[in-house]
Amino acid sequence: MEYNFREIEKKWQQRWKDTDAYKVSNNSSKPKYYVLDMFPYPSGAGLHVGHPLGYIASDIFARFKRLKGYNVLHPMGYDAFGLPAEQYAIEHGIHPAVSTGQNIQNFRKQLDNIGFCFDWSREVRTSDPSYYKWTQWIFLQLFKSFYNRQTNGAESIDALVASFEKEGNAVHPFPASADYEITSFTAEDWKGFSEKQQQDILMNYRIAYCGYGEVNWCEALGTVLANDEVVNGVSERGGYPVVKKKLRQWYLRITEYADRLLQGLEQIEFSDAMKEMQGNWIGKSSGAEIEFEIAGSEALLRVYTTRPDTIFGVDFMVIAPEHDLVERITTEAQKALVEEYITYVKSRSDRERQAEKKITGCSTGAYAVNPFDGKQIPIWISEYVLAGYGTGAIMAVPCGDERDFKFAQHFNIPITNIIGSYFNGEEASPTKDAILENSGFLNGTPMRKAIDIVCDKVEEMGIGKRKINYKMRDAAFSRQRYWGEPFPIKWIDGIAYPLDESALPLELPHVDSYKPGPDGEGPLANIESWTSANLETNTMPGYAGSSWYFLRYMDPHNNAAFCDRKVSDYWGQVDLYIGGTEHAVGHLLYSRMWTKCLYDLGFIGHDEPYKKLVNQGMIQGSSRFVYRIEFIKIGVNLSSSIYVSLSHYTRLLEVINSGFSIHQVLEEIKHLYPKFEYFQPLTESEIRVTPIHIDVNIVDGIELNIDKFLEKNPDSILIKEEDGKYICGAETEKMSKRYYNVVNPDEIVNKYGADTFRMYEMFLGPVEQSKPWDTKGIEGVHRFLRKLWRLFFDEIKGKVWTDAAATDAELKVLHKAIKKIEEDTERFSFNTAVSAFMVCVNELADLKCSKKAILQPLLVLLTPYAPHVAEELWAALGSEGSILNAAYPVFEPKYLIESSKEYPISVNGKLRTTINLPLDITKDQVEETVLANDVIKKWLEGNSPKKVIYVPGKMVNVVI
């Protein structure tokens, strides 16, 4: 009997399906455990080998917990709204619902091949009206709520209205992220306001609110572009210019939750790195907001600084180019320059503005006045100051800040040194340890003390106040797109009204065209019936549905609520959440915020969604390149189909980079490929050798499969290496369709089986670690499973396992494995657990042990890792019931007790010999035994030892 994995896996997958083996109940006497994967976006490229890494890990853990006696919730679904489906629709005219449905079917088939224990009866799809009904419903709750700073939580907006009617906004001043023309009003004011005014004010308090924000606008395409669709300042499609444009947008007031999101991190098990990333994203800082007078103007310049102590070192001010003041304060002389600079900045993304090393800026010609010494400070605009952070203006202290320093140097602005020898004139020093100099009344004061002194002073003078600032901004929550949840909002006379909850779901209407609507609006603006009903034409972003899906799994078919409170109280937090770090600051923050909102409003009983998070590494693709020679003539690419092998590429690159004439380069090519002919005019054009991604599946290692390549690219000329091979370049990149480096798990499952695939993905390395995909080595895992099989069945003899009693040596092997595998599984060290299985089976094979008493518990250990073969062999042993419900074996210490151990003995840290010592030996006895040893005596060379270091169970070191 052979190990026929294809038959076995098919059989058990069918059996599990037929018996609903993985269906989970919301009622159980067992303790609960919730294992969740970040659900996938069902892309057209299908599942690639990177997806299952996390799924296999969570599957192993879910199965492990089940064997340990827990009621385990382990669901799966699809994050089905998103841009790619819409782009596909624009290009191919296929409705996103259709293509997404097909992709989901494909994903499901691929997932099923791997033998996961998902409870598919709980599947969710965010694009399904029965699901997004509740996304819309939750949005309405956020719209109808405000953040009460008195009680630190979300509350009904009705309570706010009641307070306004009684005492104006004295108790509830505008939130930090509000933007309204007045800052305070009385009860009388409120009652006198028009409906529109009242609603505008309320909008500034709502947790889900409407405001104005900048988007990437592409005039040529008439549409808003995602950052992803903008490459080097132009649209990815077509290469058209992209500029910033202000549009009406929905937002979530996540800034009000900044502190709670920060504090919440302390109670949850995220990695320190993850907590740090979230903390940095929130970016809490304390400092002061200070107002500077502007010479010859009524206007005041408000800056935020974390270092008020350096106020005498301010040599210039920088305000964001889009700052309101720019227009008011720019002098006549500077106007033209400033306008030119602003046009330049408009074409640049926030990222570029901060990343570029190039220093740019422009003086406004205006001067601010230092409130303490009256010094006139020039005001500049520069792209490195962003309008969205702080007040959009900074006071620049070049001796203390590197970027300010470089700016001052570049524009020849004189630098005041206030930190004495900490500043050497070569580079800035952000020290807080200096004693202040050149600082008026602060001279001689340590910087740390000066911070408070200046804060007190500005508050006393009424020109500023202490302020806590957050880097985090409110979350943009609308897209000018089709394929997303419609907002349940109606606009009447410029006022947003929520739809009645009974009208939900507000279904996404069919459109004839996915093209954008007028004035940057989304495709919904093209629908007559939609606009005439005054419905909001924006849709929600991709993260809307994923911000609460973990709750829907608990109660997926509930039509009366997003999740019954009793059910969410039973399952509570996700005990283990597995997913990539790429979601560190997006999804993970948003879902934490939604959870807190739902908690505040009393809909659920916990305010952090995830108890523990494990970040799986990314399985990267290993891309392959061929190198094409291209001739460029006045912007026209004269296409060639000559591809050079890697070493020639390196050589040509060298020639081109060292400034040789095109003629010489062409000669070089001719040298490689004598048949190469070129026309004289080419000598006036430019030549390039461009790496081009090719399908990894037609490359063997780094050697191109020339036949397959020529099949796809006929008429190509390949300039090969001397040995006749064409060698490709290689690079590690994200696995993606666009890089042609996607490896499909189906092929591997088909060749080696799901169990081998599962164990191999785990064996590759730690789950948390990123690594490029490589099938080298999968044979070893497959061999292990066949070896295990042979402990049960022989090709000739058939059944070889017996009922004989196990020996102590055999029990020792088993119990060692139980201990190691259980520990490793518990701490997510699945790769070492797989190794432990291999060691165990090798040892059993050496002992020729085929005894049921040993093999049966071993199979239970194996179930989470290789469930199909474990079930099959379990049944073969004539065991009762399904192995899925077996009890996890308990390791017995008595089989692992050792009386003595071989210790390494070192002299001064150098290993010299080993000695067998009893485990219960005392420190003194160790010293005595070791010093009496002949080898050690020799190494001591008559010296008396200074001390003997004995680490029980580990080693002994003699120091002389």
Contact yes or no for 738/41 (Cβ under 8 A): no
Count of alpha carbons within 13 angstroms of residue 755, beta-carbon side: 28
Task: Check residue 340 for interaction with RNA (CB under 7 A).
Answer: no
Helices 754-763, 5-18: axis angle to 10 degrees equals 100
Integer angstrom CA distances of residue 851 from 514, 806, 855: 66, 7, 6
Q: Which is nearer to RNA, 493 or 902 (CB)?
A: 902
Least spacing, CB of residue 954 vs RNA, in Å: 3
Instruction: Identify each DSSP E strand in 657-701 by its residue range.
Output: 686-694, 699-700
Instruction: Identify each DSSP E strand in 744-899 by its residue range.
Output: 771-772, 793-794, 798-799
Point out which residues pair with 539 in neighbouring strands.
Answer: 479, 486
Judged by CB under 7 A, which of 184, 650, 908, 943 binds RNA?
A: 908
- CA–CA separation, 603 and 596 (whole Å): 10
Least spacing, CB of residue 424 vs RNA, in Å: 16
Q: Which is nearer to RNA, 672 or 838 (CB)?
A: 838
Task: Check residue 360 for interaction with RNA (CB under 7 A).
Answer: no
Task: Check residue 959 for interaction with RNA (CB under 7 A).
Answer: yes
Least spacing, CB of residue 873 vs RNA, in Å: 18
Binders of RNA among 572-601, rule CB under 7 A? 580-586
- Taking CB under 7 A as the binding criterion, the range among 184-192, 434-442, 874-882, 904-912 that sits at the site for RNA is 904-912
* Phi, psi dihedral angles at 318 (to 5 degrees): -125, 125
Q: Which is nearer to RNA, 14 or 354 (CB)?
A: 354
- Taking CB under 7 A as the binding criterion, the range among 165-173, 287-295, 691-699, 833-841 that sits at the site for RNA is 833-841
- CA–CA separation, 498 and 738 (whole Å): 41
DSSP codes, 194-216: -HHHHHHHHHTTBSEEEEEEEEE
Least spacing, CB of residue 102 vs RNA, in Å: 16
Contact yes or no for 195/491 (Cβ under 8 A): no
- Interface pattern 212-231 for RNA (x via CB under 7 A): ---xx-------xxxxx---
Q: Indicate the SS3 state at residue 736.
A: coil
Binders of RNA among 643-702, rule CB under 7 A? none
- CA–CA separation, 533 and 137 (whole Å): 19
Task: Check residue 480 for interaction with RNA (CB under 7 A).
Answer: yes
Binders of RNA among 397-456, rule CB under 7 A? none
Binders of RNA among 749-768, rule CB under 7 A? 763-766
Task: Check residue 930 for interaction with RNA (CB under 7 A).
Answer: no
Task: Check residue 515 for interaction with RNA (CB under 7 A).
Answer: no
Residue burial 366-399, b: 16+ Cβ < 10 Å; e: rest = bbbbbbbeeeebbbbbbbbbebebbbbbbbbbbb
Judged by CB under 7 A, which of 473, 515, 708, 816 binds RNA?
A: 473
The C-alpha torsion from 243 through 244 and 249 to 250, rounded to 10°, is: 110
Least spacing, CB of residue 515 vs RNA, in Å: 15
Binders of RNA among 80-109, rule CB under 7 A? 81-84
Q: Which is nearer to RNA, 280 or 885 (CB)?
A: 280
Judged by CB under 7 A, which of 769, 807, 879, 882 binds RNA?
A: 769
- Taking CB under 7 A as the binding criterion, the range among 10-18, 493-501, 647-655, 837-845 that sits at the site for RNA is 837-845
Q: Which is nearer to RNA, 323 or 720 (CB)?
A: 323
Q: Which is nearer to RNA, 634 or 897 (CB)?
A: 897
Judged by CB under 7 A, which of 448, 465, 783, 848 binds RNA?
A: 783
Task: Check residue 738 for interaction with RNA (CB under 7 A).
Answer: no
57: its two tokens? 């890990």
Q: Which is nearer to RNA, 136 or 615 (CB)?
A: 615
Judged by CB under 7 A, which of 20, 427, 500, 774 binds RNA?
A: 774
Instruction: Identify each DSSP E strand in 171-265 by its residue range.
Output: 208-218, 223-225, 230-231, 234-235, 243-252
- Taking CB under 7 A as the binding criterion, the range among 79-87, 294-302, 552-560, 562-570 that sits at the site for RNA is 79-87
Q: Which is nearer to RNA, 224 or 644 (CB)?
A: 224
Task: Check residue 624 for interaction with RNA (CB under 7 A).
Answer: no
Task: Check residue 247 for interaction with RNA (CB under 7 A).
Answer: yes
Contact yes or no for 863/67 (Cβ under 8 A): yes
Task: For residue 826, give the nearest of 129, 60, 257, 16 by alpha carbon.
Answer: 60
- Taking CB under 7 A as the binding criterion, the range among 304-312, 315-323, 458-466, 473-481 that sits at the site for RNA is 473-481
Residues in the chain: 960
Q: Which is nearer to RNA, 330 or 906 (CB)?
A: 906
Binders of RNA among 275-304, rule CB under 7 A? 276-277, 280-281, 283
Q: Which is nearer to RNA, 240 or 637 (CB)?
A: 240
Binders of RNA among 516-545, rule CB under 7 A? 541-543
Contact yes or no for 725/701 (Cβ under 8 A): no
Point out which residues pair with 286 in neighbouring strands.
Answer: 468
Question: Is cis: bond before 52, omega within 30 of 0?
Answer: no
Number of residues that bind RNA (CB under 7 A): 99
